[in-house]
Amino acid sequence: MPQGLFGTTKAQIQPSRAGIMSGFAPHQKEVLMITIRPGSHAYELLLLLANVGEFPIASLDLLGSARTWKALINKLTKSQWLFFPDSGKKIQCILLNVTGKGKYKTVRLYKGGLPALKLLNEDAYDYYMEYSSNHQMAGDQAHIERNHRVAEAAVMCQNAGIGIRPYLLPQLQADSIQRRSVTMPVFYNGRDLKKLKQDELSKTMYSRMVGAILSPGGGYVVYNTRNALMKWHGTGEFKALMDVLEISRLNTDLEDFRSAVLFGRDYQIALRTLENISKSRRMDMRFDATYPFIHFIPMSSFGCDMLRILTLPDWKRNLLESLFEFEELSNDRGSFEYDALVDGTYILCHFDGDITRLMRFRGAIKDRPGRYEGLCYPEQVAFLRTYLGENVSLKVLTMDEIKAFLDT
């Protein structure tokens, strides 16, 4: 059967027939049909929207070619015949709905397309119907903004090889100790985590947390500042961290949960975030008071590679031991924060994007004579040069070189 864009196939179907069919009628007319097969754009988009509810049109580049995705979404906002090869069934419906303007322009599942989702994956359908209160999605800007933060974070995780589909993840509980080894990286969104702690909801409902990553490389509470400074709720963020830590200790063998992943559009927002933290006079309201390690991850394919490394077991120790001799390593025993001392030069590695360590490093060397060096990716040079100034030399290793060191 000839194929076209997005798994479109030519089929013989009767235009007057609607709904689900398991076969074709005689005397049929040739029309285009979209095949929903695993790995196709339409398949991935359906399951993504079942997971996150909606996705910002402005961020389609995170999925790949924005032009290609816009063309597909436009096609699926019109009535189409869909073919599901696993069941052999066909259905005619409108799958998607696009609403809003500007940064609030969003794509959601269309009510008439829900039978298609059920036909594709009943678990995904059940999950979506439960959290959306039977397709009753809030339409105010605050809820859309929140959903977009979660959706972008989920896609970044998925692109980094982290499992995001809730119905496929190990089920978490908050009642007893059932510790299991974390052998694969997974992302739980904030909505599902907060549901486990309903009695504490009033204390965490204003948290900016969008979810948590559990991985062999450690646990990370996840935030998404997008392209604007985020207002931190110090008490709420600390309580959210404590809840995630408790859930992790009940369900996994992860011992340490002091790190956060902070997604942002680019390194300009990283600079602004660091400046904003430094200006805060109330330590209890500062983001770094809750998380001593905050890994800034730009929302790009480069950022996905950075994130993937953070999920590897013993990634930091393995990387440092590949780069330096054992006697050169600080092993956190220095009088200030650095990774290695080589021929009198203090070296800080920024391959993990940890902006809190960076902030402490800059503060420690400000009035301290000596030679200082930063190791980073080419994509981080402009950011580090602006933040650290000219007194810190920079050396660059590419992502491919770091992957080779880590044998990934």
Contact 232, 286 (CB under 8 A): yes
| Tens-digit pLDDT profile for residues 183-240 | 999 999 999 998 887 765 455 555 889 999 999 999 999 999 999 988 787 788 888 8
276, 297, 328, 362, 392 from 382: Cα distances, Å: 19, 15, 27, 16, 13
User: For residue 408, what pLDDT is reported?
Assistant: 75
In the DSSP assignment, the letter for residue 176 is S
Please provide residue 287's backbone torsions phi and psi, each rounded to the nearest 5 degrees.
-60, -40
Contacts of 246 (CB under 8 A, 6+ apart): 174, 197
Sign of CA dihedral 335, 341, 345, 346: negative
219-229 burial: b if 16+ Cβ within 10 Å, else e: bbbbbbbbeee
| Tens digits of residue pLDDT in 139-162 | 899 999 999 999 999 999 999 999
**Which residues, given as ranges, of the chain have pLDDT below 50?**
1-18, 22-28, 201
Coil/strand/helix, residue 144? helix
| Contact (Cβ atoms closer than 8 angstroms) between residue 226 and residue 104 | no
List Cβ<8 Å contacts ≥24 apart for 164-170: 164/51, 164/189, 165/47, 165/51, 165/124, 166/51, 166/127, 166/192, 167/123, 167/124, 167/126, 167/127, 168/123, 170/251
How far is C-alpha 208 from the chain's CA centre? 14
Helix or strand run (H / E) with residue 193: helix 190-195
Confidence at residue 32, expressed as pLDDT on a 0 to 100 scale: 74
Q: Give me the residues paired with residue 224 across strands.
A: 263
What's the token pair of residue 270? Answer: 């990283």
Neighbouring CB atoms inside 10 A of 22's CB total: 8
- Paired strand residues for 226: 264
The closest alpha carbon to 400, from 329, 328, 354, 351, belongs to 351
Write down the pLDDT at residue 10.
40
State pTM to two decimals: 0.90
- Residue 89: count of CB within 10 angstroms of its CB: 15
DSSP reduced 3-state for 254 = coil
